[in-house]
Structure 1
Amino acid sequence: MTASPTSPSDEPTRRFRFNPKVFAVAIVASLVLGGVLGWVARTTGAEWLVTTLDTIGSTFTSLLTFTVLPLIFTAIVVGITSLRNVGGGRTAARLGGKTALWFATTSLIAVTIGIVVGSVFQPGQGLNIQPTQGNVDEVGQKSSGSWLDLINGLVPSNLIQAFSEGETLQVVFVALLVGAAAYSLGDKVEPFIEFNRSVFEIIQRVLGWIIRLAPIGTLGLIGNAVATYGNEFFAPLLSLTAATYVGSLLVLFAVYPTLLWFVARVSPRQFFGKAWTALQFAFVSRSSGATLPLARQTAVNLGVDRSYASFAVPLATTTKMDGCAAVYPAIGSIFVANLFGIPLGPVQYLTIVAVAVFGAIATAGVTGWFTMLTLTMASLGFPAEVVATGIAIAYAVDPILDMMRTTTNVGGQIAVPVIVARTEGMLDDDTLDAHTGPPLLNADDTRTPTPA
């Protein structure tokens, strides 16, 4: 998965105890049923059915919309302040810093690939959907403007007004300032940090409840879209799926093996020979958290010092998500921009990169696909209703995307500790060469990983 929603960084859909496989089937079924109902409404001219589908879809979008701004604010504040947690002695600080640096480096590469693939595939192009609210023309002007235009619209004259009017970019700016101030004040503001962390968890819980309605929301959104635009609406979803898979596969099978070969002197055969079981389990379970025991033991089998693996892999499980927090936010933002006719320029692409790198070094577990895609589009200045509508539409194919995103996440969660261990002289070549089978769990890892 994505980051699975079983931890703070995990997506809200799996934070709660219901069967994710049943949920995925329900999403796909609602996609099909929505398409059928939309086709019936379009061919028969049944206005009542169109109105019903539109009401269902817009209600689900509105439920998502009201969570966007508080989610953005608290996620940024908690993410920045949590950077203080890396440390604990010179060796630990050096390892933590180098691990975070490699997280950011590989995320930079991954998000660049996402932008390139998204620019080639142009997912969402060909349609021009209008959200239920908001001024898309205004955000389009912001997106195509200069750096000066961006700065002028960045600082709010009234904090409450920024929230009440849905000025997402201004909320991002304020959150960065508040987070930086809280970081600098340290323990003095611990109650404030805990308050934001609690609010973030509450929002995640509310999102989990809302997302349980995703099958119903998907039915309404897809049905209304097909009734309005016809069968051509499925082409953008297909292009989103194809772009996500191509981008993720490039990171998994090109970027990681290249870095492992040239930096860690680990061959692709060695890496995939030992990591394949964990990658397969990640694809099926769609949960980085559920794959953690296998991923940690895989790193050990690749020669990583056990104590470092016990630190780095769990950290990566909630932070290192190149599929969810780099490739997908880039492609997803391009998808939503194309759907709503919003132009993206160099300023916007640099913003996408900056958000992805921030997500890679924020150790608060805020890097799941839902949060990172929301943060990315908010940083681009998309209105909250555009963000919510775009995410709701993308949810129609999320189970399919989630499998590949999660597999890429886990690949990076294993690869980076191997790279850092080699640069620190903590990689055992005898262990690396000794075993090429699946990651057999040791006595301290006897629990069988199950989907979150």
Structure 2
Amino acid sequence: MPFWVQIVAGLVLGVVFGYLARQFEIAWLSTTLETIGKTFVGLLKLAVAPLVFFAILVSITNLRQVNNAARLAGRTLLWFMITSLIAVAIGLLLGLFTNPGSGTGLTPADGKKPEGSGSWLDFLTGIIPTDVITPFQELEVLQIVFMAVVAGIAALALGEKAQPILTLSSSVLELLQKALWWVILLAPIGTIGLIGKAVSQYGWDLLGPYATFTIDIYVGCALVLFGVYPLLLATVAKVNPIQFFKGAWPAIQLAFVSRSSVGTMPVTQRVTERLGVPKEYASFAVPFGATTKMDGCAAIYPALAAIFIAQIFDVQLGVKEYLLIAFVSVVGSAATAGLTGATVMLTLTLSTLGLPLEGVGLLLAIDPILDMIRTATNVAGQALVPVLVSAREKILDLDAYNSASSSPLDDSYAAAPAKQPVTV
């Protein structure tokens, strides 16, 4: 059975079981669904810390095989910013036209201040860890990225002396990807638990006051996913957008279910390579994208959420505030860290705008429903940018791109031999 059919079946069964659990108050079914979903997400998160570290360490050292690697990395980051700006602009326009916070019946008293929040000081000082153990224990992804970047640059500076460490790192990375692949195969079962839990706990009661906001998020992500991305592929990369979605679909659908960009990262890298992006470059661009490229969670969502919360608390936003939202979306997206949820990014945006952090509490209940489409958009963008840059730099394998399909992936990519150095 095709993987996407299994996912859809999981979605349907999750809705059915969740509805039954809520409608007939079946406690054991609700508990079972919650346990299945929590276990699946826990298995994904189990590999996140070492996966991020070794993926980025290996990706930086792999850039040795790419001529003009600095230019390639620079253009990747540039396209990260360009697409984020487009996404946040769409979110702001939707919010201005639809007024998602008006007529909801919600009041400031319905909000609750989150236990933790993000600030620019925390963001800047939190990049550098105080020790090497805590970031892995507490899953501080940004600090893990920092340590991996430093280790990768140090390995490049050492040259041949660092080769034993690099060989070990590559082996550990393949081992982690293999183990995570087994977890990914459980995604249809995890889908039943995650969707079932959401339906059993919240039902359809939330769709009333949050209807406009929810529709805005899904419409905004759809405009970026099926409007902006195909336009960029057709005009910038000059390739067939349909082929992109055929090749990237396994990663997009897994992201929708798992709600984790980092958990989806091995699949994203494989589909990116299957789309003709050189493995050496993909192994750099995708891990960095999985931790910093968040068009759904860090661009569309905070833009709409800021407008929603401002309207609930009766705070007027002006041009300066809208520009600040765009700035935070581009610069602060790394704070989202590719994990389930975008609360840190939202609190960072609200604190920058001077909006009450209690507004976060208004959105926590509806967040699981919104996070699915946000993460799918994130992952699609993480695969898109390497294709754009590769096409512009004339290193995209067009034969591979045009023959990409949505068939299930196997794990042969992890063991694929490295290609010859890529010339840019």
Range into which the TM-score falls when normalised by the shorter chain: 0.5 to 0.7
Post-superposition Cα deviations, 1:327-384, rounded to whole Å, max 9, x if no partner, equal 1111111111112112111111111000001034779769961211111111111244
Q: Confirm or deny that 1:415 pairs with 2:384.
A: yes
- Within 5 Å, which residues of 2 pair with 1:149-228? 172=120, 193-195=128-130
Aligned partner of 1:112 among 86, 89, 95:
89
Summarize the Cα distance change of 1:128–1:284 in structure 2 as closer, same or farther, 3 Å threshold.
closer
Q: Distance in 2 between matches of 1:132 and 1:437?
A: 44
Partner of 1:98: 75
* Secondary structure at the counterpart of residue 194 of structure 1: coil
Which of 216, 227, 246 is 1:254 aligned to?
227
CA RMSD, 1 decimal: 4.3
Aligned length: 309
- Quick one: distance in 1 between partners of 2:83 and 2:235? 14
Q: Indicate if the aligned counterparts of 1:298 and 1:439 stay in contact, CA closer than 8 A.
A: no
1:231-310 alignment runs, 5 A limit: 235-310=208-283
- Structure 2 residue corresponding to 1:130, chosen from 90, 93, 108: 108
**Structure 2: how far apart are the matches of 1:111 and 1:329?**
8
**Match of 1:436, SS?**
coil
Question: Aligned equivalents of 1:266 and 1:332: distance in 2?
Answer: 34
Instruction: Give yes or no for the alignment of 1:318 onto 2:295.
Output: no
Matching of residue 328 in structure 1 with residue 301 in structure 2: yes
Pair 1:99–1:133, CA change in 2 (3 A):
closer
Q: Say if 1:424 and 1:286 are closer, same or farther in 2 by CA, change over 3 A.
A: same
Query: Does structure 1 residue 426 correspond to structure 2 residue 399?
Result: no
Partner of residue 395 from structure 1, selected from 364, 377, 383: 364
Deviations 1:10-30 (A, max 9, x none): xxxxxxxxxxx9xx99xx89x
Change (3 A) 1:302 1:383: same
**Offset, 1:234:** 5.4
Displacement of 1:131 after TM fit? 4.4
- The 3 A distance-change label for structure 1 pair 334 and 375 is same
Q: 1:341–1:288: structure 2 CA closer, same or farther, 3 Å change rule?
A: same
Alpha-carbon contact 2:111-2:360 (below 8 Å) kept: no
Letter in 2 for 1:309: A
Query: Higher relative contact order by CA 8 Å / sep ≥ 6: 1 or 2?
Result: 1
**Structure 1 residue 444: deviation in Å?**
3.9
Paired letter, 2:382: Q
1:320 to partner: Cα distance: 1.1
State the Cα distance separating 1:106 from its structure 2 match. Answer: 0.3
- Residue-by-residue CA offset, 1:301-339 (whole Å, 9 max, x unaligned): 211011111111121111111111111111111111112
Quote the Cα distance in structure 1 between the aligned partners of 2:136 and 2:351.
Answer: 20
Equivalent in the alignment of 2:321: 348
The alignment-based identity, stated in percent, is: 44
Quick one: distance in 2 between partners of 1:392 and 1:202? 26
Determine the C-alpha separation between the residues in 2 that align with 1:367 and 1:379. Answer: 22
Distance of aligned partners of 1:405 and 1:121 in 2 relative to their CA distance in 1, 3 Å threshold: same
Structure 1: runs of 5 or more not aligned: 1-20, 34-81, 135-165, 183-191, 206-214, 223-230, 447-452
Cα pair distance change 1:336/1:239, threshold 3 Å: same
- Find the aligned partners of 1:202 and 1:432 in 2 and give their Cα distance: 39
TM-score (norm 2): 0.61
CA shift for structure 1 position 97: 1.4
Q: Relative to structure 1, is the Cα distance of residues 443 and 368 closer, same or farther in structure 2, using a 3 angstrom cutoff?
A: same
What residue identity is the alignment partner of 2:128? I
Does structure 1 residue 358 correspond to structure 2 residue 331?
yes
Amino acid at match of 1:410: V
Instruction: State the AA in 1 paired with 2:217.
Output: T
